[in-house]
Amino acid sequence: MSFRNSRLSASLLNLLLPGLGHVYWKEPVFGLFVFLVTLIAIVLFFLTFFVHLSTLVKVVLFGLPAVFYLFTFFDLNRTVKHRRGKTIRSVKTATIYFVIAVSYQLIVPIAPGNFLLRNMPEAFVLENNSLAPLYSRGDLLRTNRLAYTADIFFADRPVLHALPERYDAVRFVDDDGRQRCGFVVGLPNEEIEILEGIVIVNSLPDYEGSSLGWNLSGDCPLTWVQGYSILIVTLNFGSIDRVYELPLERLEGKVNKLL
C-alpha cells in the first residue's frame, strides 16, 4: 500500500490543515465543516489575548473543539478504510494537497505553525554577568516571547497578555536600544525600595527572592513604579549594578536556560 493512499497520509493532512484529509478522500462537505469548527476555535484563541477568561471557561471553549477534532481522526480512518478500494489518489494529487497543507501552516496568519514562527523563542549567549549567579557569562539562554506577549497578525504591536512575576529573569530593550537582561523587582503601581539586598514592596519586606539562590546585595532608592511599567535590576554576582524603570512594551520575554 502506497503512502498516498494510506490512513497515515490522510491523518497528516488533517493535522496540517483540519478537514483537508476528508476533502482528499472525497468528503468535501464534512471537511469544510471541520475547518469551520477549527476556525471558530482559532478566533476564540486570539480573543483570549484581549479578554480575560477563567480557567473553567477556557476548558469549555477549547475542550469541546479539541474533542471534536480528535474525533475527526477516527472518522477519517473509517473513511479511508471504506473508500480505499474505490478511490485511488495519484502522486500528483497527493503532492498538490500536501503543498496546500504545508503552505497553510507556514503562510496563513491564523495557522498554528505561522503563529509559532512569529513567536519563536530567541536563543542568545549571555555576554555579561547581569544575571549572575543564576546564569553565568557565556551561558546559552533563550528568550520566551510568549511568556508575556504575543505577536498577533492583526495587531500593530505585540499584545501583552500576562505580567511578569517578581524576580523573573527577563530580556528587555534599554533607552539606548540595546538588549539587556535583568530581574524584575517591581510591578506596575508599586512602591519599591531595596535596602541592603532586601526588596521592600509597599513598605513591606519581600523575602521570596532568596529562594532563587542568590544573596542579593546593594540598595535601590524609593521608586514609585508607574502604571504599565516595571522595575528591573541588573546584577553582578548578586550585587545590584543598575536599576531600570521600563515600559512594558520594551519587555522582550522571559529568560530561561536553552539546554
Q: What DSSP designation does 160 have? A: E
Task: Please give the Cα distance from 62 to 41 (Å, whole number).
Answer: 7
- The pLDDT of 168-174, averaged and rounded, is 94
Alpha helices in the chain (DSSP H): 7-16, 20-24, 28-47, 55-83, 91-107, 112-118
Q: Which residue has 477516527 as its cell numbers?
A: 74
Task: Please give the Cα distance from 13 to 21 (Å, whole number).
Answer: 5
Number of H helices, E strands in the chain: 6, 13
Task: Give the model confidence (pLDDT) of 62-96 as tens digits.
Answer: 899 999 999 999 999 998 888 776 777 888 999 99
Task: Give the model confidence (pLDDT) of 88-113 as tens digits.
Answer: 788 899 999 999 999 999 999 999 99
Regarding pTM above 0.95, the answer is no
Say if CB 125 and CB 138 are below 8 A apart: yes
User: Domain-by-domain residue ranges, the chain?
Assistant: 3-118, 122-257
Please tell me the predicted confidence (pLDDT) of residue 3. 82
pLDDT of residue 115 exceeding 90: yes
The reply to whether omega before 18 is within 30° of 0 (cis) is no
pLDDT of residue 211 exceeding 70: no
> Quick one: pLDDT band at residue 258, thresholds 50, 70, 90?
confident
Task: Please give the Cα distance from 151 to 156 (Å, whole number).
Answer: 9
Task: Give the model confidence (pLDDT) of 135-161 as tens digits.
Answer: 888 999 999 999 999 999 998 888 999
- The pLDDT of 220-246, averaged and rounded, is 89
Say if CB 76 and CB 19 are below 8 A apart: no
pLDDT of residue 214 exceeding 60: no
Task: Please give the Cα distance from 180 to 131 (Å, whole number).
Answer: 10
Task: Please give the Cα distance from 93 to 256 (Å, whole number).
Answer: 44
Close Cβ partners of 182 (under 8 Å, ≥ 6 residues apart) = 130, 131, 169, 170, 172, 232, 233, 234, 235, 244
Comparison of pLDDT for 125 and 206, the residue scoring more? 125
Task: Please give the Cα distance from 235 to 244 (Å, whole number).
Answer: 12
Comparison of pLDDT for 255 and 205, the residue scoring more? 255
pLDDT of residue 208 exceeding 90: no
Give, in degrees to the nearest 5, the angle at Cα 203 between 198 and 207: 35
CATH number of 122-257: 2.10.109.10
Task: Please give the Cα distance from 8 to 90 (Å, whole number).
Answer: 15
Please tell me the predicted confidence (pLDDT) of residue 184. 93
